[in-house]
């Protein structure tokens, strides 16, 4: 995978992988996470596939729903 600075979609793809990893670790389906965060399950799917770049408010909602620090979703994405 290219470095995040070289590929404009790389950050979204890396975020999506991390989101899915944390969601699965917490034993949640996309629908479960959607209910906990008030982020539509379709949006969660798009985030996980890297086809949608998350807004800060979305990152914060997801972090609360997963009971993790927001940084856990974005740290070490490079």
Please list the rounded mean pLDDT of every run of 10 residues in the chain (78 residues).
66 94 97 97 97 95 97 86
d(CA 1, CA 30): 26
Domain 10-67 matching CATH 3.30.70.1090: the answer reads no
User: How much is the pTM?
Assistant: 0.88
Contacts of 65 (CB under 8 A, 6+ apart): 33, 36, 37, 39
| Tokens standing for residue 25 | 């670790």
Q: Cα 62 to chain center, whole Å?
A: 7
Kindly compute the dihedral angle of the four CA atoms of residues 12, 39, 21, 68, in this order, to the nearest 10 degrees: 110
């Amino acid at each position: 995978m290219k470095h995040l600075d070289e590929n404009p979609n790389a950050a979204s793809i890396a975020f999506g992988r991390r989101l899915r990893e944390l969601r699965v670790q917490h034993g949640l389906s996309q629908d479960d996470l959607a209910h906990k965060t008030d982020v539509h399950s379709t949006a969660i799917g798009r985030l996980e596939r890297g086809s949608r770049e998350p807004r800060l408010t979305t990152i914060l909602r997801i972090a609360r729903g997963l009971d993790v620090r927001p940084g856990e979703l974005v740290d070490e994405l490079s």
